[in-house]
Structure 1
Amino acid sequence: MKLFFAVTCLLAVAAAFPKTEISAEEWLAFKAQHGKIYASQEEEAQRFKIYLENKQMVNDHNQKYERGEVSYRLALNKFADIRSDELRRGGKLRRPAASMNVPLHVNSNQPLPASVDWRTTPGAVGEPRYIMMCESSWAFSALGSVVSQLAIKKGLHFPLLSPQNLVDCTRTYILRDDGCEGGWVDDAFQYIQQNGIQSEDDYWYHGYDENCVFNKSLVVPGVVVTGFFGLKPGSEDDLMDAVANVGPISVTVGAYDNAFMTYGGGIYNPAPATCTTDPRTPNHAVLLVGYGSEKGQNFWIIQNVWGGDWGEQGYMRLARNGTNLCGIASQASYPTVL
């Protein structure tokens, strides 16, 4: 009887989307692939409705992609049954006033390579990670920058450093951060500068807020941050110079819309209303690892923290068109290391 009710309920939901074909097998396969378990039949019906909405959006968009009208495609990934506001959580990634006075990167004013990709430098870029339902992107981005600088400047390679250490402990040492509700990359640099950082083997990532259990005796030797630089807000020229001459850069973007969440590949170049350049709205930290061009269209290469099954194996190519798309140049910084 319960199974009959559930199927009847889902069929009723599907009837509201006549343009979108779906079978019971497809829905079951989606749930199995991504380990989806719902608390009730009512919740499953709601998730199914969101899935259908996203599927219709993805299908409509990808038809435009096939016709050459847009430069990127979408995909029904693990976020297909949730809304963007659910994934966003706190998203408090705006630069604090105390961080406004940091020294700024000085543009070299030298010719730059046509393309840069730090993934080709051994140890400079780690594998894409997944933050789960915790807005700890700031912690992952900061650690990505630190590891990159140690590899590029010192030739040092380390085990995974602990983002959970930052999520739990910057709330104690730097009171303006809120762990899984959002933090700030520069605060992570400052914390590591003052305290060091443990490895993930010693301080596991769980994807939710916990009490700080930092152990100074277990900090990873050789991970020494001496400070950090910001970049002139909104300057794509300075950002391009920094990623070419310094290495991967921590940046923030406006990520929490359905198109960004379901990005499946290509050069992401949405309408400005979808991905605003307003410096107050970037809400998700990523690691900028390079730039390039394809068929006359320039792009940035960013490593996201939504797993290797998102986008282009965990990466996005974001249009680099001089408009500070998605606010990528609004709040950028990188650490200095010893």
Structure 2
Amino acid sequence: MKTYRILFTVILLIGLCRPSEGLFNSISLQDYIDSFVDAAKFKIEEKLSLNDSTISHIWSYFKTKYNRVYSSTDEEKERFRVFRDHLRYVLESKLEKLRTYELELNEFADWTLEEFDLFKKGLIISTSLRRTIIDNQYHYHLRRIKRNLNKRRYKNKRFFRDWFSNLIHANDKNNNQSTDLFDWRTKSIVSSVKNQLKCGCCYAFATATILETLYVLKTKSQNIIDFSAQQIADCSSNGNNGCSGGNFPPSVRYLLGQGGKIATEASYPYAGKKQACNTNNLNQIDLGNIEYGAIPEGDEKNLAEALMNYGPIFIGLDADSKRFMFYKSGVLQIKNCPTRRQDMDHAMVVVGYGYDNILKIPYWIIKNSWGTKWGEHGYLRLAKDSGNMCGIASMAYYGKLI
């Protein structure tokens, strides 16, 4: 607590000697909040220790930092009410026992949950898509059964030997979890984190991310080309609806209808809103034939296999929680988080997995499209092999370029 007060005082003094903008850039909203919190008292008494005057100071800091101007006094009152509720939620999250993650108040602090769903998500699951997923899973299982028939006899011979070995070396197996790591980012073939702004087109960014990496793998190029999420949002239909949501299969079908070509981000830049479809003066990349398949619902083992064999994976998550909204760091775990396919509301991309040696938890590494200031530089770590946390494997697709 003493460290926070010293830090805040130093930054404040520095801020007096330069333009105020420098102060707001040098300290995060959460650090500013924490400078007012008596951490020891908060932890012991387990209640919010900020008075109305302090909350008003924090509110003023938030408005200045994020350039908030409201249309009326009534709107500002309502925004302040929302802000205060979110502030309390984030602070009280620090009291949760066995917590494996950190939350922080951020630029979404004056948004309602309905606004957050509208602007920062955008995954649609249609009835026809549900049937498609079931069909894909059926064919996926058939391929696996055929492939595994040739291995069955050999596996039967090894069964008792492996069982006995696992019994003896159980501790070694647990220790090996700490080295269980796979991350496409280490190969420098995952593009930078983007920001969908106030447009529900997460599906377009997730699709572009996957195709960018697949194209590098196909061409063995040394450079990543950013593909246009705006083109997918503007031009694809039959299941996609611009800033009002979409999914991976309709996006792929659209690109196949264009001869397997997609515009570069440089020639068709992101606008943060749906526009008329542009077909002029585009630099188009020929991806070839695009194929995709669905991971069997809830199967995290197959998700990991597909990740290693094919590349980053398009996933849907149930992100209907303030924990996603205000996630800062750590391994996110949400008790009783829905896993049904129909509950998935946000598209993201799995790029790897790992094991946290301090928390003793395996996790998925997931790329988001909410900018680099959210989460761990734009990424989320979500608990792995924990009952299909928030539907990580409920609606997942891998892709291939032929």
When the two structures are superposed, what TM-score results if normalisation uses the length of structure 2?
0.72
Secondary structure class of the residue paired with 1:180:
coil
Secondary structure class of the residue paired with 2:226:
coil
Counterpart residue identity of residue 132, structure 2: S
Structure 2 CA distance for aligned equivalents of residues 238 and 214 of structure 1: 38
| Pairwise CA distance, 1:218 | 2.3
- 1:311 and 2:311 equivalent? no
Instruction: Classify 1:255/1:323 alpha carbon distance in 2 versus 1 (closer, same or farther; 3 Å).
Output: same
For the 8 Å contact 1:19–1:56, the answer to whether it is kept is: no
Structure 2 CA distance for aligned equivalents of residues 225 and 38 of structure 1: 49
Structure 2 CA distance for aligned equivalents of residues 181 and 145 of structure 1: 21
Counterpart in 2 of 1:328? 392
Counterpart in 1 of 2:239? 176
Counterpart in 1 of 2:186? 120
- Please identify the structure whose Cα radius of gyration is greater: 2
Gaps of 5+ in 2: 1-46, 152-176
For the 8 Å contact 2:48–2:91, the answer to whether it is kept is: no
| Pairwise CA distance, 1:168 | 1.0
Alignment of 1:124-203 (within 5 A): 124-156=189-221, 157-171=223-237, 175-195=238-258, 196-203=261-268
Counterpart in 2 of 1:31? 63
Counterpart in 1 of 2:324? 260
Counterpart in 2 of 1:47? 79
Judge which range, 196-205 or 178-187, deviates more: 196-205
For the 8 Å contact 1:168–1:209, the answer to whether it is kept is: yes
- 1:82 and 2:111 equivalent? yes
Specify which of 64, 70, 87 is matched with residue 99 of structure 2: 70
Structure 2 CA distance for aligned equivalents of residues 302 and 18 of structure 1: 32
For the 8 Å contact 1:189–1:335, the answer to whether it is kept is: no
Aligned-pair identity (%): 29
| Pairwise CA distance, 1:321 | 2.8
| Pairwise CA distance, 1:97 | 4.3
| Pairwise CA distance, 1:36 | 2.2
Instruction: Classify 1:237/1:18 alpha carbon distance in 2 versus 1 (closer, same or farther; 3 Å).
Output: closer
Counterpart in 1 of 2:124? 93
Counterpart in 2 of 1:10? none
Query: Over aligned residues, Cα RMSD in angstroms?
Result: 2.5
Secondary structure class of the residue paired with 1:81:
coil
| Pairwise CA distance, 1:214 | 2.6
Alignment of 1:213-232 (within 5 A): 213-215=278-280, 218-232=282-296
Judge which range, 218-227 or 294-303, deviates more: 218-227
When the two structures are superposed, what TM-score results if normalisation uses the length of structure 1?
0.85
Instruction: Classify 1:60/1:227 alpha carbon distance in 2 versus 1 (closer, same or farther; 3 Å).
Output: same
For the 8 Å contact 2:331–2:383, the answer to whether it is kept is: yes
| Pairwise CA distance, 1:25 | 3.8
Secondary structure class of the residue paired with 1:104:
helix
Question: As a proportion of its length, which structure holds more helix?
Answer: 2
Secondary structure class of the residue paired with 2:61:
helix
Structure 1 CA distance for aligned equivalents of residues 334 and 391 of structure 2: 13
Judge which range, 198-207 or 69-78, deviates more: 198-207
Counterpart in 2 of 1:104? 140
Structure 1 CA distance for aligned equivalents of residues 55 and 85 of structure 2: 15
How many residues end up aligned between the 2 structures? Answer: 312
| Pairwise CA distance, 1:193 | 2.3
Structure 2 CA distance for aligned equivalents of residues 254 and 93 of structure 1: 12
Structure 1 CA distance for aligned equivalents of residues 367 and 205 of structure 2: 10
Counterpart residue identity of residue 106, structure 2: N
Specify which of 273, 285, 308 is matched with residue 347 of structure 2: 285
| Pairwise CA distance, 1:81 | 1.1
Structure 2 CA distance for aligned equivalents of residues 58 and 137 of structure 1: 25
Judge which range, 136-145 or 153-162, deviates more: 153-162
Structure 1 CA distance for aligned equivalents of residues 50 and 304 of structure 2: 42
| Pairwise CA distance, 1:277 | 1.0
